[in-house]
Structure 1
Amino acid sequence: MDLLLVAIVEMADGHAEAGRRYEDAVLALLERHGGRLERRLRESGGTEVHVIRFAGRDGLDSFMADPGRLALRAELGDAAPATRVLEVRDI
């Protein structure tokens, strides 16, 4: 069963450009875990909203544990964006 997610990504104050580069890099990893970015939206203040679909929960779990993703996040430290992820469904 597909897993549909909405990620609300808040860039760290003063680090919007670094946050966008991080998001570019980690979103590129989705495909190797059976994920697909369906939409990427940005508001004028820099907050992004991503609509992401995975073939199943295993894909999300493997994406979250991806060593490349974890290394990128650790490299940013306090400049890393804060993300809230909602599991949603079409109605």
Structure 2
Amino acid sequence: MTVTYLMLARLPEGGLEAFDAYESTVLPLLAEHGGRLQRRLRTPDDRVEAHLVTFPATENLDAYRADPRRAAAAPLLKSSGAAVELIAVRDVQS
């Protein structure tokens, strides 16, 4: 069963450059863990970024989050000052 997550990152003034450097490092790792970035959105003021990401199973997300290359990039995320929220979501039929 595919699992879907919404990631929201709220960026402080001046945090975008470090956040972009972090994203450039970790987003390519998604595919190695079966993940797929469905959508990447940013507010016009560059202060909030949202990702819609899918994985084949929760275990794939866990493996992505435990990837040592992602951990090595964590100082970039910290220096960006981003407040990150990961939310499990599902499709709603209208």
Report percent identity of matched pairs: 37
Task: Identify which range, 68-77 or 54-63, moves more after superposition.
Answer: 68-77
> Structure 1 residues 42 and 76, CA, compared in 2 at 3 Å: closer, same or farther?
closer
Contact 1:7 / 1:51 at 8 angstroms: preserved in 2?
A: yes
Q: Which runs of 5+ in 2 are unaligned?
A: none
CA distance in 1, matches of 2:23, 2:83: 11
TM-score (structure 2 length as normaliser): 0.87
- 1:12/1:19 contact within 8 Å kept: no
Cross-structure match for 1:43: 43
* 2-structure distance, mates of 1:88, 1:76: 23
Query: What does 1:35-74 align with in structure 2 at a 5 Å threshold?
Result: 35-46=35-46, 47-74=48-75
Across the aligned residues of Structure 1 and Structure 2, the Cα RMSD in angstroms comes to: 1.4
Count matched residues. 91
* Kept after mapping to 1: 8 A contact 2:33/2:60: yes
Instruction: Determine helix, strand or coil for the equivalent of 1:90.
Output: coil
Give the SS at the match of 1:37.
strand
Structure 1 residues 53-90: Cα deviation after superposition (integer angstroms, max 9, x where no partner):
00000100001101000110135533252210110000
Give the TM-score, by structure 1 length.
0.89
2:9 alignment partner, SS class: strand
Mean Cα deviation higher: 12-21 or 29-38: 12-21
